[in-house]
Amino acid sequence: MLGLTTRFSFLALCVLQIDEEVAKLLELKAQLGGDDGKHQFVLKTAKGTRDYNPRQMAIREKVFNTIIGCFKRHGAETIDTPVFELKETLTGKYGEDSKLIYDLKDQGGELLSLRYDLTVPFARYLAMNKITNIKRYHIAKVYRRDNPAMTRGRYREFYQCDFDIAGQYDAMIPDAECLKIVHEILSELELGDFCIKMAWADVKKEMVNEKGLSEEVADQIGEYVSMQGGMDLAERLLQDQKLSQSKQACAGLSDIKLLFSYLQLLQVTDKVVFDLSLARGLDYYTGVIYEAVLTQTGVGLGSTEAQQEAHAEDSVSVGSVAGGGRYDGLVGMFDPKGRKVPCVGVSIGIERIFSIMEQKASAEKVRTTEVQVMVVSAQKNLLQERLKLVSDLWNGGVKAEMMYKKNPKLLSQLQHCEEAGIPLVAILGEQELKDGVVKLRVVSTREEFDICRADLLAEIRRRTSEA
């Protein structure tokens, strides 16, 4: 009787477990979209974000390498800062844009926010570590609670690529280098024609509130905001009877003239325009600001024909792809003694550049790996020999791979090389093993050479360096 009772208890327990599992499955079905269609769960990325496939990542890596190479060429070192800051660190630094900051829930007694840009964290870093001069670059993600425009390279989560020079230096020399960097990057990426616009930021406010310029003279300056030019415009404004009466206005224009003289020496004046109408929205800028605008790329930023048609104007003027300026007072906001550390920098609009590069490369074949040689076998039962050879190549610093099959077909191995853009094939066969050689095949020309096993590494390096 006891055994029968135990058996019934066991069966009851099994039924209960089955019922629980069925309930879980029904709940999951409802989440994924039940018969009534009331509960729908759609797999997608969060609004204003995106995934990147290997092809897109290869394009991004190329752009990053170009930008980082330029930064390093100019002697910059790199830093990193946390993805979130104390909320009070970011508060009051961005003007109207402060409403776009992502605030986080209170965790452990600290009010935190996701970083809005890399400039304010950089200023906090300088003040906290008592650093008075540094030339640094920082590439990292930032976050903005904005209305995204994905086809125009505007996201809620995106990378910024910043280059900044902090320290007491003679006027306009660091500023000129920042503009040179923008010129170099946009030229090397071959995005299309571009123009770098410069302005004396928020002219009236700065001249009146900070430099004691009269309202009357400030209003006279306003008459010139539609003018654009270079050294010639600065000289013309300096000779103007109205402006020449103001020492502050003359000082500002003299700085612009000095900057253009340096830009001439750096050979970048062909793309730089002095534009008094330009004004950036962030509160921390204190002097010359600049913005790089693509004037023609030959492609729209949409990913479909309809999007390209909707953004047809982008092929003529696609907007800003870089911007920056001088922010001499920002570090002092974090220093207990209010000590100022003059700073000037530039931020590259990397997401917009990615969008343009993707469109340009849409019809091109893009390599998603850097494999230099594929180790293949011409007959069966050569897996061990392939493993030995690919191991030797890896140990020698060669980027190599092989198929994960014991006896792959030779044709499928060669087809993989052509599809993946792998330049060389190292072929092993019974005869090659007897002769102590490896047959090296050039994929592009289909030429084949017998190379002594001992000389294989050197031959691969020679051929890949030539490519």
Q: Give the C-alpha separation, 191 to 212, whole Å.
A: 43
* Mean pLDDT computed over 95-99: 85
Residue 297 and residue 313 in contact, taking contact as beta carbons nearer than 8 Å: no
Q: What is the mean pLDDT of residues 400-413?
A: 96
Q: Are residues 279 and 410 in the same domain?
A: no
Last residue of a domain, one of 361, 388, 420: 361
Average pLDDT, the chain: 83
Task: Kindly report, residue by residue over 242-289, the tens digit of the pLDDT.
Answer: 667 667 677 777 887 888 899 999 999 888 887 666 555 577 888 788
| Segment among 28-37, 171-180, 343-352 with least mean pLDDT | 28-37
Domain for residue 29, yes or no? no
Residue 94 lies in a domain: yes
Given a cut of 50, whether residue 369 has pLDDT beyond it is: yes
14, part of any domain: no
CATH number at residue 266: 3.30.930.10
Do 109 and 246 lie in a common domain? Answer: yes
Question: Are 244 and 347 members of one domain?
Answer: yes
pLDDT, residue 200, reads 52
**Average of per-residue pLDDT across 100-127:** 92
Query: Is 348 part of any domain?
Result: yes
- Count the Cβ atoms, other than its own, within 10 Å of residue 24: 10
Identify the band that residue 205 occupies on the pLDDT scale cut at 50, 70 and 90: low
Instruction: Among 361, 389, 406, identify where a domain stops.
Output: 361
Cα–Cα distance measured from residue 77 to residue 39, given in angstroms and rounded to the nearest whole number = 51
Query: What pLDDT sits at residue 16?
Result: 55
Is residue 355 predicted with pLDDT exceeding 80? yes
For residues 175 and 200, membership in a common domain is answered with yes
Q: Which spans in 116-210 are helix H?
A: 119-128, 173-189, 203-205
Q: What is the pLDDT of residue 398?
A: 97
Regarding whether 410 and 348 lie in a shared domain, the answer is no
Residues in binding site for L-histidine: 117-119, 144, 160, 164, 280, 284-285
pLDDT number for residue 4: 46
Residues 121 and 151 in one domain: yes
As a whole-number percent, the residues of the chain with pLDDT over 70 amount to 75
* Residues 126 and 149 occupy one common structural domain: yes
What pLDDT was estimated at residue 230?
65
Q: Do 338 and 377 share a structural domain?
A: no
The lowest-confidence range among 10-14, 95-99, 342-346, 352-356 is 10-14
Q: Please give the pLDDT value at position 184.
A: 97
List the CATH number of the domain containing 439: 3.40.50.800
Q: What would the two tokens of residue 427 be?
A: 């072929």
Q: What is the pLDDT of residue 337?
A: 85
Q: Is residue 15 part of a domain?
A: no
Q: Which of 361, 385, 410 corresponds to the end of one domain?
A: 361
Q: Are 427 and 309 found together in one domain? A: no
In a domain, 254, yes or no: yes
In a shared domain, residues 77 and 180: yes
> Is residue 133 helix, strand or coil?
coil
pLDDT higher than 80, residue 159: yes
Report which secondary-structure segment, H or E, holds 291.
strand 288-296
pLDDT of 33 > 80? The answer is no
Span 177-192, pLDDT tens digits = 999 999 999 999 998 8
| Cβ pair 448, 429 in contact under 8 A | no
- State the pTM of this model: 0.79
One domain for residues 347 and 378: no
Nearest to 373 by CA among 464, 244, 240: 464
Residue range 72-76: average pLDDT? 98
Binding residues: 117-119, 144, 160, 164, 280, 284-285
pLDDT at 2 over 50: no
Higher-confidence residue of 200 and 272: namely 272
CA separation for the pair 308, 47 (Å, rounded) = 21
Instruction: Tell me the residue range of the domain where 393 lies.
Output: 373-466
Please report whether residue 17 resides in a domain. no
Number of domains in the chain: 2
CA 146 to each of CA 156, 291, 303, 385, 400: distance values in angstroms, whole numbers, following the listed order: 6, 21, 21, 57, 44
Shared-domain flag, residues 336 and 393: no
Render pLDDT for 296-319 as a digit per residue (tens, 0 to 9): 755 544 433 334 333 333 333 457
| C-alpha–C-alpha distance, residues 121 and 125, integer Å | 6
Residue 283 lies in a domain: yes
Mapped onto helix, strand or coil, the DSSP state of residue 41 is: coil
